[in-house]
Structure 1
């Protein structure tokens, strides 16, 4: 709801001051940080939105005790993403602790700091902030497709987790990431997240949603990939056929 609340506040009377009190892990480590607001439109993720920084963000990890495990894991996908693009040591620690921790305070602070550091360099997402989209080109395509299928909807973090596996595989295909790193990423993500279900015949239809991705330049699909664990690289052109191939790879795992 941080996206929706911020979006409404940014529009009302051409903008009013607002604060955010995120109560889910997804909102605490991602949606409430960086001033991006957006809502889904005509079946596509976050296609209406503005950049509008809140007057304040108040995070209390105690809210997380109210979440069911599925919601908690959905937010954890963004914690993993931050580590994969910017902090290899944090990813190694996550492989030890995963979501089985009692106090999220340190993990939230660290993840927020990673995102804030990137956002400070590029508030309006013209450059380095695009790193934060790792897992989202394929993930948003998968999420949007399943949202269009009644009864098959998945949570955002579940889609991003699948997207990170697909985009890590694309990183290998582009000669950026080594096979050992890919194995570590997919093994860990599958230890936390259940496999997203779709049939192989749907891969082209899912991949086609990437044509609407906000990072695209004209007809070029721009993806964030990995050079190594802890080091992302943005503005990497990929094709719809490559995205479909990554989904087929994921489907076979």
Structure 2
């Protein structure tokens, strides 16, 4: 797979990534290497990564607990303290080896430590390969509210090693798949169509789809790094999806949802809103609904759940002047940003989601 050029960095694949690191990580350029991992990547990915990392610079491993609930400022404070105690300085570099929590949080820690040190993302989950590690968004949650604190600053590089996916559960793979499906829905109908016969795809097909998904996100971000325009398209499914994810995260009586599971629900709901606003045909909506419901479990929502989820929408970071902003489909493969939808449309979408 050829290297993908972004605004200020490149996305490398497999051996090209390791070759890039060997050329970059010189004692004349960096004083110390920190590798951030969580409990899972420490066990399943770190040994392979270190075995392929050719450098004479001292390496320190810093580990955090696994899970979205640890993507917060308290974990950042622990990491800032660890970097300080381990001799980190302005010439240190942080390599984030992990999923979306590790790359989001690690990037934020790097951007703020000593007013900013270089960092590299090495995503180990499908979700982080096609979404979280790409585009320079770094940040943490505020309580249960997703990604409220953060900064946009691109990494030094992203290195994608698809073999790390062999360590993932099917549930984690499906979570990442949601973001790939989203890229087709908002940008490329032909790409979306490739997922209609998912069971027939093999490993080579998946690698090609991952590459294409990264290309789509990179094209959008390259046009609008600061998210003032077209980059908002990437939020399709996330306005309601993030609210659902936050609600299930904070409610002890609910089973936590992975990011992709919540976004898949959000995409169905926001596709229904798109249809109600005459942007999406009924046929296209049904196609989206049934393909996604075939891939992801249907979650039960009662009236109280929906009310609480709608209340959380006010905290969505896309909102402007107190108005909730949606990115809605304008047919499969196209998007309209800065769209409003009242609560009646949201309730109707939840009602239809319940039906088979």
Gaps of 5+ in 2: 1-101
Cα deviations by residue, 1:100-140 (Å, 9 ceiling, x for unpaired): 53232211110000000000110000000000000000101
Q: Give the 3-state SS of the residue equivalent to 2:134 in structure 1.
A: coil
Asked if the contact 1:88–1:230 (Cα under 8 Å) also holds between the matched residues in 2, the reply is: yes
Distance 2:260 2:159 in 1: 22
Q: Give the 3-state SS of the residue equivalent to 1:58 in structure 2.
A: strand
Report the equivalent of 2:291.
Answer: 188
Residue 224 (1) aligns with residue 298 (2): no
Distance 1:128 1:99 in 2: 33
Of 304, 327, 331, 1:201 maps to 304
Residue 140 (1) aligns with residue 239 (2): no
Of 326, 336, 339, 1:236 maps to 339
Q: CA, structure 1 residues 200+249, in 2 after alignment: closer, same or farther (shift >3 Å)?
A: farther
Gaps of 5+ in 1: none
Deviation of 1:239 (Å): 2.4
Residue 38 (1) aligns with residue 139 (2): yes
Of 173, 182, 197, 1:81 maps to 182
Distance 1:99 1:45 in 2: 35
Q: Give the 3-state SS of the residue equivalent to 1:234 in structure 2.
A: strand
Q: Which deviates the most, 67-76 or 208-217?
A: 208-217
Q: Give the 3-state SS of the residue equivalent to 2:196 in structure 1.
A: helix
* TM norm structure 1: 0.96
* TM norm structure 2: 0.69
Select the structure that is richer in helix: 1
Distance 1:215 1:222 in 2: 6
Asked if the contact 2:232–2:327 (Cα under 8 Å) also holds between the matched residues in 1, the reply is: yes
Deviation of 1:99 (Å): 8.7
User: How is 1:53-132 mapped onto 2 (pairs within 5 angstroms)?
Assistant: 53-97=154-198, 100-103=201-204, 104-132=206-234
Q: Give the 3-state SS of the residue equivalent to 1:95 in structure 2.
A: coil
Deviation of 1:218 (Å): 1.5
Q: CA, structure 1 residues 126+234, in 2 after alignment: closer, same or farther (shift >3 Å)?
A: same
Distance 2:262 2:347 in 1: 15
- Computing the radius of gyration from Cα coordinates, the structure with the larger value is 2
Residue 23 (1) aligns with residue 130 (2): no
Q: Which deviates the most, 92-101 or 123-132?
A: 92-101
Report the equivalent of 1:214.
Answer: 317
The CA RMSD over aligned residues, in Å, is 1.4
Q: CA, structure 1 residues 143+210, in 2 after alignment: closer, same or farther (shift >3 Å)?
A: same
Distance 1:120 1:191 in 2: 33
Asked if the contact 2:134–2:217 (Cα under 8 Å) also holds between the matched residues in 1, the reply is: yes
Matched positions, count = 253
Asked if the contact 1:86–1:232 (Cα under 8 Å) also holds between the matched residues in 2, the reply is: yes
